[in-house]
Amino acid sequence: MRSEPRPARFGPVLRVAELAPGQSRDILIEPQPQVCADIAELLDLTALRKLRLQGVLAPLGRRDWRFSGHLGATVVQPCVVTLAPVTTRIEDDITRTWRADFAEPEADEVEIPEIVEEEPLGTEIDLGAMMIEALALALPDYPRAEGVALGEAVFAAPGTAPMTDDDAKPFAGLAALREKLADDDDDDETGDA
């Protein structure tokens, strides 16, 4: 029976059983250019020029672990308007806690927090996966080249009038109608005198 292939690893994976209790460990991950190219492909980046994760993995109580550190990266993404390359420097502090007694919420509908800093402690701590997740969360959602503004796009089926953003604002039309009616009332009052 063949086992499933393991996903590519982009940094150290520490076995929890081999971590010395009560002892912190300095962490420094600086992937080589080929690994950066693989990460760029994974995250749909044009390029990943630099990537560095530095921090400390420290015990938290008797069984939990916490990483505190800093992520630095230089990424290139396509502009959402022109597709021109946009270079962004990312500097982000990262904290992640692995808890041995982590309990998943049991409700049917659970609100997912914007920043996830805690996760269950398994048999391994994958620092490379944590680094990639932190980088993915820090990426600009809509990178734009300098001086580029997103214009208004108007689409319509052949033979129909296109609907603009102003047309989609019904209360703006009501306000204009109210002003017109108020002007008509003013004209009637001045005309009757």
* DSSP secondary structure of 138-165: HS-SS---TT----------TTSPPP-T
Indicate the burial class of 92 (C-beta count within 10 angstroms; 0-12, 13-18, 19 or more): middle
Which position has the higher pLDDT, 97 or 152?
97
Contact predicate 38/70, CB 8 Å: no
55 to 16, 27, 52, 68: CA distances (angstroms): 18, 5, 10, 5
Collapsed DSSP state (helix, strand, coil) of residue 90: strand
**pLDDT band of 190, cuts 50, 70, 90:** low
Of the chain, the percentage scoring pLDDT greater than 70 comes to: 75
Average pLDDT over residues 102-108: 65
Rounded Cα distance, 81 and 148, in Å? 7
pLDDT at 82 over 80: yes
Collapsed DSSP state (helix, strand, coil) of residue 189: helix
Average pLDDT over residues 185-190: 64
Going by their DSSP bridges, the two strands 13-15 and 124-126 should be labelled as antiparallel
Host H or E run for residue 118: strand 118-120
Contact predicate 49/36, CB 8 Å: yes
pLDDT at 65: 94
Q: What is the mean pLDDT of the chain?
A: 83
pLDDT at 111: 60
Which position has the higher pLDDT, 170 or 97?
97
**pLDDT band of 4, cuts 50, 70, 90:** very low
pTM across the whole model = 0.69
Average pLDDT over residues 31-56: 96
pLDDT at 8 over 60: no
Average pLDDT over residues 91-117: 74
Torsion angle, CA of 50/134/5/40, rounded to 10 degrees? -40
pLDDT at 117: 83
Contact predicate 79/85, CB 8 Å: yes
What is the per-residue pLDDT across 125-184, written as a single tens digit (0 to 9) for each? 999 999 999 999 999 999 988 887 766 666 677 878 776 666 666 666 677 778 888 877
pLDDT at 56: 97
- Token reading at 150: 């997103």
